Amino acid sequence: MRYLPLNDTNRREMLAAIGAGSVDELFRDLPKAALASAKFKLPNTASEIEVERALGVMAAKNLSCGAAPAFLGAGNYRHHTPASMDYLIQRGEFLTAYTPYQPEISQGTLQAIFEFQTQVALITGMEIANASMYDGATACAEAVAMACRVTKRGAALVSGQVHPHYRDTTQTTMKFLDIAVECLAPDPAGIEDLIGRITPELACVVVQTPGFFGHLKDHTTLAEACHKAGALLVVCVTEPVALGLIKPPCQMGADIVVGEGQSLAGPMSFGGPGVGLFATREKFLRQMPGRLCGETTDEDGRRGWVLTLSTREQHIRREKATSNICTNSGLIALAFSTHMTLLGEAGFTRLAQLNHAMAVALAEKVEKIPGVKLLPSAFFNEFAVVLPKPAAPVVEELAKRKILGGVPVSRFYPTYPEVANLLLLCATETNTIADIDTLVGALKEVLS
């Protein structure tokens, strides 16, 4: 087996040094009965070419977004990946290192984390950010848990414009802590009243910008109402590219900003792995979950970086830790950071403008299709439309024509028949005007 360097001569010599007769002897603490009953119906070792063949066949059964005009968003976005980004994250020194427990020989990862923390703080406008969470949905749950610690309260209100997976993940996680999470009904029209529902028991209100159905909303008055009631405002961002063009959460008074970094961190990869972004105010630092990298100096007085404030974390605090997270999403955070560095301020804002322009170009054509109604008046690169018939079969019809024509909202809300005709459409810089024309032509046919 090509991954295993020992040969039988080595094994014999090593067993002799140990004083054991066989490798099996080293397993003598394992229960005999369990050893005897262990039979596995699994294939034996395969060559590289055989593995490539088998997985190639499996991969070919999928319709990849590069092979069809694709307009899918709903929290997972297809953006162009610069070639140098994918090269850099595959450098073995990044790819095959682990958590920087030994800072003297991990300065590369640590400096990259420090830069990542700064970039996340800058785009959200918040004071500090951590080294990453698993994904946006789990980061949202962590934010609610943190808000409960900060306010010493045990309830949360989640807007109907928050991504359903973020809502579900938060609700699941919190129910085991007996924290009451009220998730409002899906709000495609963007009319829900959050301020009127604020109570003195609430630890936080959770909103999303841009909203799940595309709405761009200013949450400044909501933030003020939250703060007046002693609650925090948690803002989710599922599409961080938007932050290159729209008012950042900090300017609305957000206390915690969480998000999904996948859109800037490489391929969609069927939704995982992503990278959870987590930013907040400096005064909440001690209640923050996850790893933090900080600046310091070495014995020679040279600047360097270390993991810090780990007294918040599980390996020190055990059951009193701010979270149980250990392994996070290091490499995807590096991908995010590398892409942000390649973009810079000019590239990031231009990318955001291009995304918005493509989405407007799409909206202009889609809203002219008879019977189709665009819901948000202000949006970034994604918006919900009402179709004259249920969206799920329409999407299936489009797929038969090799077009990935959006995400039917019914997929998330099987118990809300009122969303059956809603379709989420997204356009990014990876789409062309020709793609848009193909989609619009096919939609007209399918809807007629």
Partner 1 sequence: MTMPTTVSGNRGLQLEQNLIFEQDTPGMTAVDLPAAPKVIERLGDMKSTRRIGLPGMSEPDVVRHYTRLSQKNYSIDSGFYPLGSCTMKHNPRLNEKMARLPGFADVHPFQPVSTIQGALELIDTCAAWLKELTGMAAVAMSPAAGAHGELCGLMCIKSAHEANGQGHRKIVLVPESAHGTNPATAALCGYAVEAIPANAEGRVDVAALRQHLRPEIAAVMITNPNTCGLFERDCIEIADAVHEAGAYFYMDGANYNAIVGRLRIADLGVDAMHINLHKTFSTPHGGGGPGAGPTVLSPKLAPFAPVPQVVKIGAGFDSEEHAGFGTAKQSYGRMKGYHGQFGVFVRAVSYMMAMGIDGLRQASGDAVLNANYLLARLGTEMTAAFEGPCMHEAVFDDRFLKGTCVTTLDIAKALIDEGVHPPTMYFPLVVHGALLMEPTETESKQTLDKFIESMLHLARKAKAGGAEAAFKAAPMYSPRRRLDETKAARKPILRWTPSEPEANGNGARQAAE
**Which residues is 129 bridged to in the sheet?**
279
Residue keyed to tokens 């910008």: 209
Figure out which of the listed residues 165, 336, 439, 443 binds partner 1, where binding follows CB under 8 A.
165
Give the H or E element holding residue 197: none
What is the rounded distance in angstroms from the CA atom of residue 408 to the CA atom of residue 421? 8
Stretches 147-155, 171-179, 195-203, 440-448: which one binds partner 1 (CB under 8 A)? Answer: 171-179
* HEC letters along 318-337: HHHCCCCCCCCCHHHHHHHH
Site for partner 1 contains 137 (CB under 8 A): yes
Closer residue to partner 1, CB minimum distance, 180 or 285: 285
Compute how many residues bind partner 1; rule: CB under 8 A.
213
Asked if 162 and 182 touch (Cβ cutoff 8 Å), the reply is no
What is the rounded distance in angstroms from the CA atom of residue 54 to the CA atom of residue 73? 30
Site for partner 1 contains 448 (CB under 8 A): no
Site for partner 1 contains 21 (CB under 8 A): no
Q: What backbone phi and psi angles, to 5 degrees, belong to 133?
A: -120, 180
Figure out which of the listed residues 151, 159, 263, 338 binds partner 1, where binding follows CB under 8 A.
338
Closer residue to partner 1, CB minimum distance, 200 or 364: 364
Site for partner 1 contains 43 (CB under 8 A): yes
Site for partner 1 contains 229 (CB under 8 A): no
Closer residue to partner 1, CB minimum distance, 13 or 193: 13
End-to-end CA distance of the chain: 59
Q: Are strands 202-208 and 155-158 parallel, antiparallel or unpaired?
A: parallel
Figure out which of the listed residues 186, 188, 240, 248 binds partner 1, where binding follows CB under 8 A.
248
What is the rounded distance in angstroms from the CA atom of residue 338 to the CA atom of residue 343? 9
Site for partner 1 contains 437 (CB under 8 A): no
Which 352-371 positions form the footprint of partner 1 (CB under 8 A)? 353-354, 356-358, 360-361, 363-364
Site for partner 1 contains 241 (CB under 8 A): no
Stretches 10-18, 154-162, 221-229, 440-448: which one binds partner 1 (CB under 8 A)? Answer: 10-18
Asked if 375 and 386 touch (Cβ cutoff 8 Å), the reply is yes
Shortest distance in whole angstroms from residue 375 CB to partner 1: 12
Shortest distance in whole angstroms from residue 225 CB to partner 1: 19
Site string for partner 1, 193-222 (x = CB under 8 A): -----------------------xxx----
What is the rounded distance in angstroms from the CA atom of residue 218 to the CA atom of residue 235? 11
Beta-carbon contacts of 48 under 8 Å, excluding residues fewer than 6 positions away, are 2
Site for partner 1 contains 163 (CB under 8 A): yes
Site for partner 1 contains 274 (CB under 8 A): yes
Site string for partner 1, 89-128 (x = CB under 8 A): -xxxxxxxxxxxxxxxxxxxx-xx-xx-xxx-xxx-xxxx
Q: Vertex 89, ends 84 and 90: CA angle to 5°?
A: 95
**Which residues is 180 bridged to in the sheet?**
155
**Which residues is 37 bridged to in the sheet?**
none
Site for partner 1 contains 29 (CB under 8 A): yes
What is the rounded distance in angstroms from the CA atom of residue 394 to the CA atom of residue 407? 10
Closest CA to 165 of 60, 253, 74, 64: 74
Site for partner 1 contains 421 (CB under 8 A): no
Closest CA to 339 of 241, 418, 257: 241
Site string for partner 1, 57-96 (x = CB under 8 A): -xxxxxxxxxx--x-x-xxx-x---x-x-xxx-xxxxxxx
Site for partner 1 contains 55 (CB under 8 A): yes
Figure out which of the listed residues 180, 201, 230, 304 binds partner 1, where binding follows CB under 8 A.
304
Figure out which of the listed residues 136, 160, 186, 211 binds partner 1, where binding follows CB under 8 A.
136
Strands (DSSP E) contained in 154-240 are 155-158, 180-183, 202-208, 232-237
Stretches 28-36, 200-208, 227-235, 437-445: which one binds partner 1 (CB under 8 A)? Answer: 28-36
Which 276-295 positions form the footprint of partner 1 (CB under 8 A)? 281, 285, 291-295
What is the rounded distance in angstroms from the CA atom of residue 280 to the CA atom of residue 133? 14
Asked if 116 and 131 touch (Cβ cutoff 8 Å), the reply is yes
Stretches 39-47, 192-200, 223-231, 437-445: which one binds partner 1 (CB under 8 A)? Answer: 39-47
Closer residue to partner 1, CB minimum distance, 345 or 445: 345
Q: Vertex 268, ends 265 and 274: CA angle to 5°?
A: 55
Closer residue to partner 1, CB minimum distance, 29 or 200: 29
Closer residue to partner 1, CB minimum distance, 184 or 309: 309
Which 380-409 positions form the footprint of partner 1 (CB under 8 A)? 380, 395-396, 399, 404, 407
What is the rounded distance in angstroms from the CA atom of residue 390 to the CA atom of residue 267? 30
Figure out which of the listed residues 228, 316, 373, 389 binds partner 1, where binding follows CB under 8 A.
316
Beta-carbon contacts of 28 under 8 Å, excluding residues fewer than 6 positions away, are none
